[in-house]
Amino acid sequence: MERKYLIICLRHNYWSRYDNLVFWGKNNSGYYSDLTKAGLYTKEEARRIADNGDCYISLDSIGITIKEMTALNNPSLEIKVKKTEKICKYVNVFMKIMNNKRDLKWGY
């Protein structure tokens, strides 16, 4: 099965404003701190979206399997994902890489 990715929203001050992660919704439907409303994206989709200032992360990096994620399709559930030290380090490294990529593109 193809690996799936969540997209962590870093724009609109969501990253600095909340203790929980805020994700892109299903089918680009908005931003949600509720994991049950988060979209799952292919790596290509996630890369394209992350080029605009967000961060993608695989489900297994936050300790969730695809089977568990699809089982969360219950409207009475609301699941929040706390920012952990591991996730914060991941996001910081990811952003450094993306900034370096952008700088190389423009010759800085």
Candidates 72, 41, 64; CA nearest to 54 is 41
Per the structure block, which two tokens stand in for 84? Answer: 């952990």
Contact 38, 57 (CB under 8 A): no
Residues 24-59 have pLDDT tens digits of: 998 888 899 999 899 999 999 999 988 788 999 999
Contact 20, 80 (CB under 8 A): yes
Confidence of residue 71 (pLDDT cuts 50, 70, 90): confident
